A and B are shown apart, each in its own frame.
Chain A
Amino acid sequence: MSSTTEQEPEHGDVLVAQVEEQLRAPAWTRLLTGSSTFIGLILVGLIVVFSILSYTNFVSASNARNVATDAAVLLVVAVGMTFVIVTAGIDLSVGSVLVFAGVVAARAMHAVGGNSWGTIIVGLLVALGCGLGWGVINGFLISKAKVPALIVTLGTFGMALGFALLITGGVDERSVPFKLVDTIGTGRVGNQVPYLVIIAFAVAAVFAVLLHATRFGRYTFAIGSNEEAARRAGIRVDRHLIKVYALMGMLSGLAGFLSLARFSTTTIGGHSTDNLQAIAAVVIGGTSLFGGVGTLLGTIFGVFIPAVLQNGFVIVGVQPFWQQVAVGAVLILAVYLDQLRRRSEYQR
């Protein structure tokens, strides 16, 4: 027998795996790269540190509410981005699609007029539809026309923002129904939990189930892991990719609507780095840019790490600009850990 190590009972048919081949990564890298636990611990660590530094200001219901509200819109975008990056894709257009959807929805609600739930629902459907439209365009160009995702979404990033500016003439649309702002925008359930936060977490929960428990999610991972294998297994890869980008677009549209509700204006100029923030959050959360690996729980942590850093720095009196430095460092660390994982697994 070729193996020098004696191992499990070996009945004649066993394709014995040679133990030497099981080059195990060191325990600490396995722990660090294993799952979203590590990134969750970083988040907990940050919260602990800020709590110690400034207990009275940091640990309060109102501050938790602030952090969560600030993160809510980004969380919705990052949920979609998780699916896209799990397929080994990328979507740079999200911020512009968000703005476009917000602008068209605001116009639509203005046109319908009134201050009723009917108007608001029209606005929501218009926002979702706009996002879906851009998403389908992205998905079609990426999967059928075979233009790289980076280029397609860089193109639609410019186009969606350009159209939004053309529609508004560059001036923010401010005619948002009061009812929308009072309820979804700034309202709270039980005077405690903002609707925005509840909506964002509900979206995250639904899509976590979609990603991790359904066939749709399984195919998303399979395509990101090995597109050719997925194709040979009979998965309609092109159609699935169009659906994933359509989903991403729709969530950008929803984020645009939520942003409209929160700020009661279209904030045209305020979303040029949403794409990078969402990508950073997803990657910090342990999703691999090379596809096939990721969790939605990790993405939630990845959204909240920058949000907690920002908030904590302000409270403890550090210049908030340090947040950008810290987030950049965490991002690089997260990708480094992903590389470690890949190296330990693939080089054999």
Chain B
Amino acid sequence: MAEPMLEAREIVKSFGRVHALRGANFTVFPGEVVALVGDNGAGKSTLVKTLAGVHPPDAGEILFEGRPVHIASPVAARRLGIETVYQDLALAAELDPAANLYLGREIMRGGVLGRLGFLDKAEMRRRGDQQFKELGVAIQDTSASVATMSGGQRQGVAVSRAVTWASKVVFMDEPTAALGVVQTRNVLDLIRRVRDRGLAVVLISHNMPEVLEVADRIEVLRLGERVARFERGDVTMEQIVGAMTGAIKHEEEAA
């Protein structure tokens, strides 16, 4: 198989006396969707936040395209081409969708005005509208604040931001949790299209049918460690749930 896009080895992360990750491993290849599954408290979100630079790990090694890297901050992750859709959305609710899309990467006016710090709001709105349209996010009033929008639209904005800027890896932490049937379908379609562009997509989800439908591979976390890896097609729901609940205790047993 090709070289992994991103690989985590023996990641340890504790918050006070809570050991969220106890030597977790994780691998994702370019052009695939990996589902990261596990019961509540298994360490999925912590692992994603570690790899996205939100919480640097206490111990362990992260390899990006085969090189060891130190991802000290979200900005460092972004420089590597890693974007994240957080479970808690991380949008600035009072700003409009285009402002959120370009937050931290604003388009400035040309010439002297730009150097004085003036924003090119019209251009950001124009390109934002175009981007939302391409990604199939329906927003009626693009000048309204995100706070006035439905859960589906907000999720659409958050997902659009991640896939607009990601060049290597997109993490999505429960991207469909708040969505209805139609919107969920659209997010899953979007995930496939991002994968087809050659990016690595990491999907965290509790929804097993969704995972079986969209994921090329599945990695299972339990109590802060990877306990199983499955390929698409040769896995049943029972096997996944077995790994999640501890019926299958070690990676080797499941292989």
Contact = CB atoms under 8 A, between A and B. Distances in A.
Nearest to A293: B94
Contact of B140 (A17, A233, A346): A17
Nearest to B76: A234
Among B105, B153, B155, the one with the most A-chain Cβ atoms within 10 Å of its Cβ is: B153
B119 A13 contact: no
Nearest to B157: A15
Q: How large is the interface on B (under 10, 10 to 19, 20 to 34, 35 or more residues)?
A: 35 or more
A221 B99 CA distance: 10
Nearest to A291: B94
Contacts, number: 126
A12 B189 contact: yes
Interface string B73-90: 011001000001010111
A336 interface: no
Contact of B152 (A8, A16, A231, A232): A16
B219 to A, nearest CB: 24
Contacts of A233: 74, 90, 103-105
Nearest to B117: A214
B187 A15 contact: yes
A18 interface: yes
A23 B135 CA distance: 25
A218 B121 CA distance: 10
Interface in A2-35: 2-3, 8, 10-18, 21-22
Contacts of B151: 21, 348
Contacts of A226: 90-93
B90 A228 contact: yes
A229 interface: yes
A231 B74 contact: yes
Contacts of A214: 116-119
B118 A232 contact: no
Contacts of A222: 92, 95, 99, 103
Contacts of B74: 231-234
B195 to A, nearest CB: 15
B122 to A, nearest CB: 12
Interface string A214-236: 11101001101110111111110
Given A1-B182, A222-B95, A345-B147, A215 B119 contact: yes
Nearest to A222: B92
Task: Give me the 10 closest cross-chain CB pairs, A-B, nearest first.
Answer: A13-B136, A292-B94, A233-B104, A21-B150, A225-B92, A234-B104, A225-B94, A214-B117, A233-B103, A229-B90
13 contacts: A8-B138, A13-B136, A15-B156, A18-B152, A21-B151, A213-B121, A215-B119, A218-B103, A226-B93, A229-B91, A233-B104, A235-B103, A293-B94
